[in-house]
Structure 1
Amino acid sequence: MSAKLWTEEQFNCPVCLDLPNDPVTIPCGHSYCMACINDYWSKNDPKGVFSCPQCRQSFSPKPSLSRNTMLAEAVEQLRKGAQMADVRASMRSGAGVASSKTKRKLSSSAVLCDMCKGEQRAAVKSCLVCMSSFCEAHLKPHKTKKSLSKHELIAPTSNLAEKICTEHKYLQEFFCRQCKMFVCWLCTSNQHKGHECVSTKVERLEKQKLMSEMQTENTQRLKEREQELKDMKKMMEVTKRSSDMVHDDTEQVLSELQRSVERLQELLEEVLDQASTQKMGHAQEVTDSLEAEVTELRKRDQEMKDLLRCEDHIYYLETCESLCNPLASGDLPAVVVNPEASFEPVRDAILDLRDKVEDICNQELGKITKQVNDTTLFTLGDATRPGLKGGIFKLFSGLGSRTTNSRSPAPTVGARADRRGLGIGLRNQDVRSRDTPRDKGNTSSPRPRDRQRREERET
């Protein structure tokens, strides 16, 4: 029944022309928003005159104001009724809220219009009286209607209700550096009086300087890691092909030797497989770590770019703290990839073994084992590592070395040969050293491929 007798306009505050927030009734009987009447009286405070804006009745001293509970409940019921009416009208017209797909088209920091039905458009202004955000089309009533022209419009602000001071009902446009919190202009003169309070825009500019530095560091680190990841993948591909080729040639060459060399073949395959598995496994772990770090850096870079485009100062300040933290150094130090990674020297050494006798097999096997173990695919530096041009790119530090020291005792061939009597058998055959010419009675000759390799090594 009351809904038929009373309209929403009859409950409006005469000052802001909207439903009152924290309604109070002054001695003459007229009701206002507590903030509106306090603002009105504060302008006339020096004169010592406190009058009603409607009937002009004066009061002295200044009346004390208390919240009109009954009127507040009636206003709240009116608000709920208006909201339900809007919902029913929206359902009858078939208009729905914007789909998640449409929202994803807008930036994650964009403020959407609260009045759009269906596809929501980006807001251009937010109203502190209506507590809503409006697009260009829905903002027109605020420009054309006299009752709305006095409303205070600000830049688009998301979650506007959460950014209103709960005590003074003003927008929190300041940041208290001492208390690390957002405050309104009245808070700066009361609870936060004497504190270092600056506007959110000024605070953002300070934080933005820090973020710009962090973004530069992040971008540089991203470039370095991307290049390292590219080099690692290229090295792994080349090294894998080289390892496969060495494995194939090892089987082909060692299959031509006598039974005593079969033991050598087994040992070499074991060393190569173990070294390849260990080194490639380690390389894969480093590659996985690099990929994870590059993904995190890209994500951080995109979040910084999106946040820098955000026009909402409060949202910016709330979000930038996590992005402005110093970058974690991580467990993985800098990676320097050996661009010339290859097992080719190992394959050459294996081809030389075919021309050697059993007396030097143990010595050659020790040398080859050391060469395999000394194969360096990459090196892990530290934060103070030199630049790429000044780094060490030697991939196989052990290859070509004439020293006999190795990381572990090399396996021997003689033990197996003695057990099976192969040592004596080899000595009775056509066994020659590198400098001994082939027997004239032997008409066999090296294969063209082997001869070509020898010529390349000699040159």
Structure 2
Amino acid sequence: MHEITEPTALELLHSSTQRLTMAEAQLFVSQDEFTCSVCLDTLTDPVALPCGHNFCLKCLTDYWDQSQECRCPQCTSMNFTTRPSLRRNNLLNEVIKNLKKTTLSSPPPQNYVGPGDVECDFCTGKKFRAVKSCLTCPASYCQTHLQPHYEGDALKHHKLVDPDRNLKEKLCEKHQKSLEIFCKTDDSCICMMCVVTEHNGHKMGELETEREEKQVSDV
């Protein structure tokens, strides 16, 4: 059984969501603030982590059970050595209940994956369409699950491209890394591991640059 404690008055004061009055919340907050980034649905029985992110109680506990590590699913940089006590965000829960009666609705249908769309690899249940694919991970992400790539230092240097359903074709078969280099000596596309292990001293260029030059020469 997971221990659930009430947040202190000071913690409530510092919560950006909880500083809003009910009327302000209805006017100014966006749908994303009431969406759990794990299930991508409206928060149910919301709990808050010290980093400020809110999740459904069940989603967060299931996520920790499956991943076998305690970290924030959204910012990923917040790691806990021991599983923290989860604090029920009662005020946020009341805001959501009231908004459900008025303006709160399901995420726009166009965000869900449709025919011809690339689906997000991290959505559970009904899939959202991907807005970017990462050649470094490699995986495709919807807008919500893509956020750590913009916020976390460890992911900022990953190579993001438009959604691509053929990511595996852009990976080195031997090292499962993205094909970023063109070896002119062997006339082949290779990854950075190939450069170090098998193509040392060969004449090379960036794959994207070589592709652009070839397109120009073919015109």
TM-score by length of 1: 0.21
Between Structure 1 and Structure 2, the one with more strand by share is 2
Report which structure shows greater RCO (CA 8 Å, sep ≥6): 2
Between Structure 1 and Structure 2, the one with more helix by share is 1
Larger Cα-atom Rg: 1
TM-score by length of 2: 0.40
